[in-house]
Structure 1
């Protein structure tokens, strides 16, 4: 075996080898012999089928197995020569050259390795976490929202007109081309106006009706409607408003406070306001993280941490991004890519920078997860999928099965790990900033002289 190895950088290596055909022939015989021991063919006893018959009948399979074994031997020899442990190899090595000559096969193999990266610059990448102070006005508004949400429903007066957020109790029946359709009829149905529960235009058309009134509503089902027999079709709904229900006013009294703080020994409005303030602060922080700081942190990690990236993994990520992009292309552009390989290659190449960034961040997150001892358990993944499925009115079991069949669970788990790591780093920064701020406020009180200077008025100049 003629072997030449090259360590391109810390994440990539290449192997050039000449596989002699005589060596490959011995492997062919070895594979064929192994098959013959268990093979049954008409006219021959088990284990007595001649090798030449086996090699002829199963030629392609035997060649593949023999070549695979030969390539594996080349790889092991190359890793030994390079001083690389097999556990540091990422993914499957790719054969980029396989040229058959007269007495040998010319091979080139690319290998990707776990990159070497340092996390020293991570603290410099974490943006400052500056939260707005929660105002008393916000606390009061939230308390009123809670009181309104907990308020019991009461029937509105007959003269009241239906408005946004009211609950309309209705009878309705839908017709397409003058014929009633299945699933388009109900009685005493409670519909919150503005909830978006019905197709666009339906709820808005009810606004202004009074109890006992009837109306015909003309709407069109969306093109993307789940029932194909209704999608995109105009319909008429005959509707009767039976009654209007509204939220009663709730007093924020002692009983109400106790209902919100059932586990507290001494519930009070002060304690309730404190807890509301804490919740508002948490919501403010979460919003800031998700809408601004997490993305800023990712950008900083990408710019300030540098290391070699495995080429084969980048190519795989490019393939993934390219395939995903095909799902959202218009039919005309998709047909152009199918008919023009050059354009398809250019489209795929356009994802190279995004692929590099994605691979880079994945390795950084993985290293940080190990350093910070942060992980996501499988049950957390399933709980998240279950919750999101319920929110989207999907069957959680069907969604989980779909993710399993398409091997998407590892990607979801990695995304959750990334989110957890980013939040953890931002939390640490927030805690450090808060401690520093508190320390400064405690150790640098205003000096008496400065107070005096602030309180003294400058004398007015005398008129000459």
Structure 2
């Protein structure tokens, strides 16, 4: 097989692949056997028709056509492997020459255009020092969490005075555009000042008493008329305030397993410290990735960027033809960062020679299922049946590659003290029992299938 590679873009290549006759012959034989199982030839049992008879019966060109359907993807994969390319998308295949007659001197020739992962050199990780801020938990942090717990045990009590900032209200809304109602909702609960409703509603509600109405203008935040200005009529049904329990030992006993408020505060502080350490680990990851790519230009495939940008727009609830310039910019920037991060993580995983075990993939899928409140077995089954298992393996490889790379780096706080992140990064010993990522998908599929039975 002769392979030539032409760089069309920094992240796009065109392969021209010419297949030798003997390489194609194996696929021709397979095609003949397949065709022999589908045709009836007098004097021969179905499936036992000699290849020469198959050629005569259906025509050599038809045999070649059957063979090419199976052969071209395999020859393409072999070429990609031989040239050490890392495709990021499906190739665009184009047949150039196909033999029509036996020994006509024409060789199978086709081109494949595909976007590939760019190549770049990673810095030496074991010399890298990454600075990450030391986690800090203040009394204010503890008090904020304690107040949130206090709110959970508060009681809403009706009041007679007009609505004030922080009050809890029940309201009806009716939005009209050009005098026509376009959206109406009743019995909405809202805390004045929460900032999660229409612009201008807080100012409209403050000073109203239960049973009173008023109108204000605001841009609608969702629905068919999203972004359009409407005249909104608001009816205030009730006003309540939150009465909070006293912060004492009785509260601690009601709200927790602890007998005293001091013990409850100590536990809240411990939780806050654990959360702060988790945030530090996330900050360390971000700082590490930023430092790895410092000074490195990572080009992003144009086709992949366009597709991911469209996907981000759809997630924003708009299509490319209706999106604003600001929305397109936001979607494009998010898609570009996502792709660049994927390219970096895939490169790290390859550099770390990551191995993905069956248990790695199973644990990953089970954790995702748990996040969405789904049954793990059903979720894994749907992943396998939907052909998404390779993507799951890839995600696990990216995660493991990053952790393995971070374990080679020294993290220090802003005072120069070494930061121990082993609780979050794991150890190299945990990798000893892993198996090749290429076989992980099949193993997981087999296990899921056997469990289903």
Q: If the TM-score is normalised by the length of the shorter chain, which range does it land in?
A: 0.5 to 0.7
Identify which range, 246-255 or 202-211, moves more after superposition: 202-211
Distance 1:361 1:384, change over 3 A: same
CA contact (8 A) 1:166 1:193 kept: yes
The corresponding residue for 1:276 is: 268
Candidates 130, 145, 149, aligned match of 1:146: 149
CA apart distance, 1:124: 4.1
Superposed counterparts of 1:316-355, under 5 Å: 319-325=303-309, 331=321
Superposed counterparts of 1:130-141, under 5 Å: 130-141=133-144
CA apart distance, 1:51: 3.7
The corresponding residue for 1:454 is: none
SS of 2:20's partner is strand
CA apart distance, 1:128: 3.7
> What is the CA–CA distance in structure 2 between the aligned matches of 1:129 and 1:424, rounded to whole Å?
16
Superposed counterparts of 1:379-394, under 5 Å: 379-385=366-372
> What is the CA–CA distance in structure 1 between the aligned matches of 2:418 and 2:16, rounded to whole Å?
51
SS of 2:307's partner is helix
Residue 249 of structure 2 is aligned to residue 254 of structure 1: yes
Residue 173 of structure 2 is aligned to residue 164 of structure 1: no
Which structure dedicates a bigger proportion of its chain to helix? 1
Structure 1 unpaired stretches of 5+: 7-13, 335-347, 388-396, 437-464
Identify which range, 322-331 or 411-420, moves more after superposition: 411-420
> What is the CA–CA distance in structure 2 between the aligned matches of 1:243 and 1:377, rounded to whole Å?
47
The corresponding residue for 1:36 is: 36
The corresponding residue for 2:395 is: 414
> What is the CA–CA distance in structure 1 between the aligned matches of 2:404 and 2:250, rounded to whole Å?
38
> What is the CA–CA distance in structure 2 between the aligned matches of 1:232 and 1:357, rounded to whole Å?
33
Structure 2 unpaired stretches of 5+: 6-14, 314-318, 325-331, 422-453
CA contact (8 A) 1:31 1:65 kept: no
Superposed counterparts of 1:107-122, under 5 Å: 121-122=124-125
Give the paired residue count.
373
Distance 1:58 1:75, change over 3 A: same
The corresponding residue for 1:201 is: 200
SS of 1:383's partner is helix
CA apart distance, 1:300: 3.1
TM-align CA RMSD? 6.0
SS of 2:151's partner is helix
CA contact (8 A) 1:221 1:234 kept: yes
**TM-score scaled to structure 1, two decimals?**
0.57
Per-residue Cα deviation, 1:227-266 (whole angstroms, up to 9, x for no partner): x3x445554444332321111132111111123331x4xx
CA contact (8 A) 1:33 1:51 kept: no
Distance 1:41 1:259, change over 3 A: farther
Distance 1:406 1:162, change over 3 A: farther
The corresponding residue for 1:455 is: none
> Of the two, which has the highest radius of gyration?
1
**TM-score scaled to structure 2, two decimals?**
0.58
